Amino acid sequence: MKKRGIGFASVFYGTGYGNGFPDISNAIAELGMDGKITIYVGATEVGQGAKTILSQIAAEVFSMSVEEIIFVCEDTSITPDAGTAAASRQTYNTGNAIKIAAENLREEMIDVAIERLGLNSRVGLAVKNGRIFLKTFPEKGISFEEIALLVGDQHLRRTGSFTAQTTQMDEDTGEGAPYWPYTFSVYGIEVEVDTSIGTIEVIRSVCAQDTGRTINPKLVEGQIDGGFAMGLGYAIYEDLNLQKGKIKHNRFTNYLIPTAEDMPEVEKIFIENPESTGPYGAKGIGEPVTLAVAPAILNAIYDAVGIRIKEIPVTPDKLLIALKEKEMEV
């Protein structure tokens, strides 16, 4: 017999290392001789889209296209430390460091433009599409490439550093402010449980995700899909089968992971409430989109068959045993 149930779960997640641990990101912004902006940062791209989102933040500072940003990362000989690609911190932490470095460089470029154009004030200047010019008289301006030629071998190059706000928890009271900011996420999931063979199929899913401000919707959608797949595997597929300290399911023939056919369509709802301390209001969402999946599935199983499962993954054998025990209780 097949039975359906719906479950919900919500989480809040603190960005960064937390608990007073130094959480620092550094970046460098440099004007090239071709007028393009190069960002040097130690942020690691592991498929989450860091290169794209961090390039967008730099491009926004200069009101130019992302294609005009040269992004250099993952080379410790020329890039400053930006911390690990962990704790959902790169967009928030390193994004802030890049924004600061880019803004510092922009101000230095404006100083050169003021001197070259013979202006007596910064008032009314605009920076857009590779030029610095007077808003009221756009013809009076100078290109980024011209600025680079003026400074020559000096190279305009500025740094930026950002330290996240975090305090250590009080060991006696458990009180403190270990993280900032927090990200919030809610999943609603419908499952179909086949009580005859113990299988569980996720029919549909909805994710409402706090994004701060959504800088790149496609990347957020990708994070949610990836996070859901990880949570799905965690909940009902991925069983290490640890026996006496040895992993028995040590190959993909018996350690199952979700495939594309196992994935339902995930409806995404972005909840935008710009974070005042984030780069253009953005927050990190890497891990939050995974955390609520498994508990929502477990709640949906309970709604379907009235059994509260407390051990994951919920493999068919475990579910059949639980169903049998319930029958014996009756």
Regions in the chain scoring below 50 on pLDDT: none
pLDDT at 95: 98
Q: Which residue, 173, 166, 290, is CA-closest to 223?
A: 290
pLDDT at 54: 97
pLDDT at 158: 98
pLDDT at 153: 82
Among candidate residues 272, 287, 325, 329, the one labeled active-site is 287
CATH number of domain containing 269: 3.30.365.10
Structural domain contains residue 168: no
**Is 67 one of the catalytic residues?**
no
Residues 6+ apart with CB under 8 A from 201: 191, 192, 194
Q: Which residue, 186, 200, 305, 322, is CA-closest to 256?
A: 200
Of 133, 163, 193, which one is at a domain's C-terminal end?
Answer: 163
pLDDT at 219: 96
Residue-range definition of the domain harbouring residue 49: 24-163
* Residues 220, 183 share a domain: yes
pLDDT at 3: 97
Number of domains making up the chain: 2
For residue range 196-253, what is the model confidence (pLDDT) as tens digits? Answer: 999 999 999 999 999 999 999 999 999 999 999 999 999 999 999 999 999 999 999 9
* Residues 270, 307 share a domain: yes
Of 135, 163, 191, which one is at a domain's C-terminal end?
Answer: 163
Structural domain contains residue 172: no
Tell me the two tokens of residue 213.
Answer: 């401000």
Distance CA 97, CA 100 (A): 5
* Residues 216, 120 share a domain: no
Structural domain contains residue 31: yes
Structural domain contains residue 231: yes
Q: What share of the chain is helix, strand, coil (3-state, %, to 5)?
A: 35, 25, 40
CB of 142 closer than 8 Å to CB of 132: yes
* Residues 83, 206 share a domain: no
pLDDT at 330: 65
DSSP classification of residue 172: T
